[in-house]
Amino acid sequence: MAAQTDVLPVPLSGKFKGSFAYDTIKDRLPEILTRVIDTLHRHRNEFFEEHGEKGVEAEKKAIAYLSKLRNELQTDKLLIALTDNLPDTALWNQYLEYQQNLSYGPPSWFKSPWLYIECYMYRRIHEALVLNPPISDFDVFHEEKVHGFFESQQAIIVLTSYLQELLKNISNVDEKLLQGEFLKLLQVSLWGNKCDLSISGGKDNSQKSDPLETLEELKSFILVDHMEKIWSLLINAKKMNSRTTTRIDIVLDNAGFELTADLVLADFLVSSKLATEIHFHGKSIPWYVSDTTVRDFNWTIKQMQSANHKWMSKCGMCWGGKMKNGIWVYHDHVFWTLPHGFSSMAQVAPDLYAELQKSNLILFKGDLNYRKLTGDLKWDFTVPFHQALNSFHPAPLCSLRTLKSDVQVGLQPGQGERFMNTEPEWMIIGKYGIVQFDTSS
Distance in Å from the first CA to the final CA of the chain: 20
CA–centroid distance for 1 within its chain:
22
Is 153-438 the same fold as 20-130?
A: no
Identify the burial level of 16 via C-beta atoms within 10 angstroms of its C-beta, where 0-12 means exposed, 13-18 middle and 19 or more buried. Answer: middle
Non-local (6+) Cβ contacts of 243 within 8 A are none
Residue 190 CA to residue 300 CA, distance in Å, equals: 19
Class for the domain spanning 20-130: mainly alpha
At the topology level of CATH, where does 153-438 sit?
Answer: Rossmann fold (3.40.50)
Beta bridge partners of 108: 78
Q: Is the dihedral of CA 411, 414, 415, 419 positive or negative?
A: positive
Residues 6+ apart with CB under 8 A from 54: 134
The domain spans of the chain are 20-130, 153-438
Q: What is the pLDDT of residue 276?
A: 96
Q: Please report the pLDDT score of residue 1 as a whole number.
A: 46
Residues 358/343, Cβ–Cβ less than 8 Å: no
Q: How much is the pLDDT for 240?
A: 86
430 vs 192: CA distance, rounded Å:
11
Evaluated on CA atoms 22, 24, 25, 27, the torsion sign reads positive
Q: How far is CA 335 from the centre of its chain?
A: 13
Mode of pairing for the β-strands spanning 222-225 and 247-251: unpaired
The pLDDT profile of the chain, 441 residues, written as one tens digit per residue, is 444 446 899 999 999 999 999 999 999 999 999 999 999 999 999 999 999 999 999 999 999 999 999 999 999 999 999 999 999 999 999 999 999 998 778 999 999 999 999 999 999 999 999 999 999 999 999 999 999 999 999 999 999 999 999 999 999 999 999 999 999 999 999 999 886 655 545 555 567 678 999 999 999 999 999 999 999 999 999 988 666 899 999 999 999 999 999 999 999 999 999 999 999 999 999 999 999 999 999 999 999 999 999 999 999 999 999 999 999 999 999 999 999 999 999 999 999 999 999 999 999 999 999 999 999 999 999 999 999 999 999 999 999 999 999 999 999 999 999 999 999 999 999 999 999 999 875
CB count within 10 Å of CB 289 equals: 24
